[in-house]
């Protein structure tokens, strides 16, 4: 794995910490059965609800982690930053059966879902870049914005 990947991140409201300590980080599907606070944006969740990981589960049946929390999702929620936290998760989750990585936001149209052994196909320079803007190049901005949100998907948790 790229040496910059020392931990994974989960962005969530601080009000969910007790639940995480009891139940762990859960998939969207499992979290929906518990009382919790969400930072999810409904239009994105509608897209994720329609996604199926090839050879795997529906996207909402995976808990999702980011390689790097300093990403467009966190930026979009900056107004509520005082109520958010970033959980640091061990990279040992790569060893869980059925774990999948995505080379960009898993809800993106052109996402590739990969086995963790295929990590070299991810653009870690873009994932860990401090900025994803590309003034004057809208297409480069869209691509980089999606890659900044590359994910690790943990099945049935």
| Catalytic residue set | 48, 151
CB-count exposure of residue 80 (10 Å: 0-12, 13-18, 19+): exposed
Q: Residue 50 to residues 6, 41, 46, 58, 94: CA-CA distances in angstroms?
A: 31, 15, 7, 8, 25
11 marked as binding residue = yes
44 marked as binding residue = no
73 marked as binding residue = no
Q: Which residues, other chains included, contact 66 with Cβ-Cβ below 8 Å and sequence gap of 6+? A: 8, 9, 10, 11, 73, 149, 150, 151, 152
What token pair was written down for 13?
A: 């409201």
Binding-site residues from annotation for NAD(+): 10-12, 48
Known binding-site positions? 10-12, 48
């Amino acid at each position: 794995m790229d040496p910059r990947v020392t931990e994974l991140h989960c962005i969530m409201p601080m009000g969910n910490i007790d639940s995480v300590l009891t139940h762990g980080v859960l998939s969207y599907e499992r979290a929906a059965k518990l009382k919790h606070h969400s930072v999810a944006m409904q239009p994105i969740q509608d897209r994720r609800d329609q996604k199926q990981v090839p050879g795997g589960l529906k996207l909402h049946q995976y808990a999702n982690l980011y390689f790097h929390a300093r990403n467009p999702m966190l930026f979009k929620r900056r107004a509520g930053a005082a109520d958010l936290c970033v959980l640091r998760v061990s990279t040992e989750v790569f060893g869980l059966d059925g774990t999948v990585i995505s080379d960009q936001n898993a809800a993106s149209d052109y996402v590739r879902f990969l086995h963790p052994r295929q990590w070299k196909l991810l653009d870690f320079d873009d994932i860990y870049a401090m900025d994803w803007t590309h003034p004057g190049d809208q297409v480069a901005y869209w691509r980089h914005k999606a890659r900044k949100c590359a994910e690790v998907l943990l099945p049935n948790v």
